[in-house]
Amino acid sequence: MRRLLLALSFGVSAVLSCAQAIATPVLLISIDGLRPADVLQARQHGLALPNLEAFLQRGAHAHDVRGVLPTLTYPSHTTLITGVSPQLHGIGGNLTFDPYNKNQQGWDWYASDIKVPTLWDAAHAAGLSTANVHWPVSVGAQVDWNLPQIWRTGTADDRKLLAALATPGLLPSLERDLGPYADGIAEDLPGDRNRTRFAIKLLETRKPYFMTAYLTALDTQQHASGPDTPASREVLEGIDRLIGELVAAAQRVHPDGVVAIVSDHGFAPVQHDVNLYLPFIQAGLITLKDGEVSDWQAMPWNDGGSAAIVLRDPANDTIKLKVAALLKRLQGDPQYGIAQVLDHSQVMAQGGTSMASWFVQFRLGYEMAIKPDVPLLSPGHYLGMHGYAAALPEMRSTFLIAGQGVPAGKDFGSIDMRDIAPTLAMLLGVQLPQAQGKALLGGPSRQQ
């Protein structure tokens, strides 16, 4: 019996040692709103991006990445970390669906809303250490050293909230050396610089085996001034310098590791706001009292360049017919700027949220207005937007990867966003069995 127990113990140790030997440390960095051409054609566009361009020679890249429905930050980042569509992972938009606005414009911050295992979960199950800085939908995630993304007021009190929701004691310990963490929704380049310093400190002091980090200033600037503007290009060049710092730190800590750069969506210029609430109000499907929603039967869920249409009672055939007729009329009226209306079966086929009975997709240049009490058409509240159909070239996103086991100069071509998580899982040596995509560097794959 003793010999049997020793043999079993040796066998378990051997399996664990083998698993650790084949695992590769991974740093996953997201640059919100980075388009493939920003890197692939950087010099033609007059951009100085030496650190991002280095991935094209040292590692592999996708020509473009086809995203999810909708092409928004939170659904996309959850696909990047799970390998499945919003229909399965459960994050259907940036904001929670909140027709009465009781959640005070709350975003889908909480990892408990993700319905499938994440790469963080898989790494934890394999005994690998993890860290995170600012990744969307990360509050309460199973991460060893977690600085999640959340804000409420945009004031310094948000940092107290973050300290309470982060790994206990982590933020104060880092701030003692680095000074204050970025306040609230500081999503500009100074905010990215601040969080990069914290990410580097986490890398150097905790040496996580799998780490996620999120840079958001490019998205913020492209919303404000549009893509391909001098201001957006300046921000991107600033982010490239931060990438250089992060890559150098990762190479010092894990010389045999891998760094992957991803983005969540592309960007397009926008000129028009469309008040999609208005026809629903006029049809009696939304009732307002003192400017606030007091009752509703059908409600648009704002996704920027698109909108999910949610029914309060999807089994009510009378309301379904009424909404279907309304959407058909709106699609035929050019002032609404509607490119396509997907029905529920089409939404499901494209992996969108099951809450949507329809999905309105706007033409480029149009976005959904954020308030119900504005004119039908008005100038865009942003000059750049995403959320449009994933098939559009303008909405394609980015994937770059370099390091141990990654062939230099390889072009993966056009890939599905769901391919990225299983690729990273394979490098980490962990299991992500629900992934709908394929591992781009070989190994087992699963397809929807």
Q: Calculate mean pLDDT across residues 423-444.
A: 90
Give residues with Cβ within 8 angstroms of 241, minimum separation 6.
51
- Give residue 291's pLDDT: 85
Q: How confident is the model at residue 89 (pLDDT cuts 50, 70, 90)?
A: very high
Same domain, 209 and 221: yes
Task: Write the CA distances from 442 to 55, 65, 122, 407, 445, integer angstroms.
Answer: 20, 18, 19, 12, 8
Same domain, 209 and 289: no
With residue 199 as reference, give the H or E element that holds it: helix 189-206
Phi, psi (deg, nearest 5) at residue 216: -120, -5
Model confidence at 7: pLDDT above 50: no
User: For residues 14 and 5, what is the distance between their CA atoms, to the nearest angstrom?
Assistant: 14
Q: How confident is the model at residue 261 (pLDDT cuts 50, 70, 90)?
A: very high
- Give residue 14's pLDDT: 36
Q: How confident is the model at residue 69 (pLDDT cuts 50, 70, 90)?
A: very high
User: For residues 394 and 364, what is the distance between their CA atoms, to the nearest angstrom?
Assistant: 9
Same domain, 344 and 239: no
* Residue 406 belongs to a domain: yes
From 381, 411, 438, the end of a domain falls on: 381
Q: How confident is the model at residue 281 (pLDDT cuts 50, 70, 90)?
A: very high
Phi, psi (deg, nearest 5) at residue 300: -70, 140
- Give residue 329's pLDDT: 98
Beta strands (DSSP E) in 188-291 are 210-215, 258-262, 268-269, 272-274, 286-289
* Residue 412 belongs to a domain: yes
| pLDDT higher at 132 or 371 | 132
* Residue 56 belongs to a domain: yes
The pair of three-digit structure tokens given for residue 51, joined into one six-digit string: 């650190």
Task: Write the CA distances from 362 to 92, 367, 389, 421, integer angstroms.
Answer: 18, 7, 8, 29
* Residue 178 belongs to a domain: yes
The 10s digit of each residue's pLDDT in 171-192 is: 999 999 999 999 878 999 999 9
The 10s digit of each residue's pLDDT in 15-26 is: 333 344 478 999
Model confidence at 1: pLDDT above 60: no
Q: Calculate mean pLDDT across residues 13-38.
A: 76
- Give residue 374's pLDDT: 93
- Give residue 155's pLDDT: 85
Let me know: does 341 contact 361? Beta carbons within 8 Å.
Answer: yes
Same domain, 91 and 204: yes
Same domain, 203 and 350: no
The 10s digit of each residue's pLDDT in 336-355 is: 999 999 999 999 999 999 99
- Give residue 26's pLDDT: 98
| Domain that residue 335 falls in | 272-381
**Whole-prediction pTM:** 0.93
| pLDDT higher at 434 or 444 | 434
Q: Calculate mean pLDDT across residues 134-154.
A: 96
* Residue 301 belongs to a domain: yes
Same domain, 74 and 120: yes
Model confidence at 259: pLDDT above 60: yes
Same domain, 187 and 241: yes
Model confidence at 6: pLDDT above 70: no
Same domain, 213 and 288: no
> Is omega for the bond preceding 422 within 30 degrees of 0, making it cis?
no
Longest distance between any two alpha carbons in the chain, whole Å:
81
* Residue 441 belongs to a domain: no
Residues of the chain above pLDDT 90, percent: 89
Q: Calculate mean pLDDT across residues 207-211.
A: 98
Phi, psi (deg, nearest 5) at residue 228: 65, 25
Q: Calculate mean pLDDT across residues 320-326.
A: 98
Q: Calculate mean pLDDT across residues 196-214.
A: 98
- Give residue 410's pLDDT: 96
- Give residue 2's pLDDT: 34
Q: How many domains does the chain have?
A: 2
Task: Write the CA distances from 86 to 75, 89, 111, 118, integer angstroms.
Answer: 6, 5, 14, 13
* Residue 447 belongs to a domain: no
* Residue 205 belongs to a domain: yes
333: domain CATH number is 3.30.1360
Same domain, 194 and 319: no
The pair of three-digit structure tokens given for residue 209, joined into one six-digit string: 């085996």
Tell me the pLDDT of the chain averaged across its residues.
93
Same domain, 160 and 264: yes
Same domain, 262 and 292: no
Could you give the count of Cα atoms lying within 13 Å of 407 in the half-sphere of its Cβ? 8
The 10s digit of each residue's pLDDT in 350-405 is: 999 999 999 999 999 999 999 998 999 999 999 999 999 999 999 999 999 999 99
Same domain, 89 and 138: yes
Give residues with Cβ within 8 angstroms of 8, minimum separation 6.
none
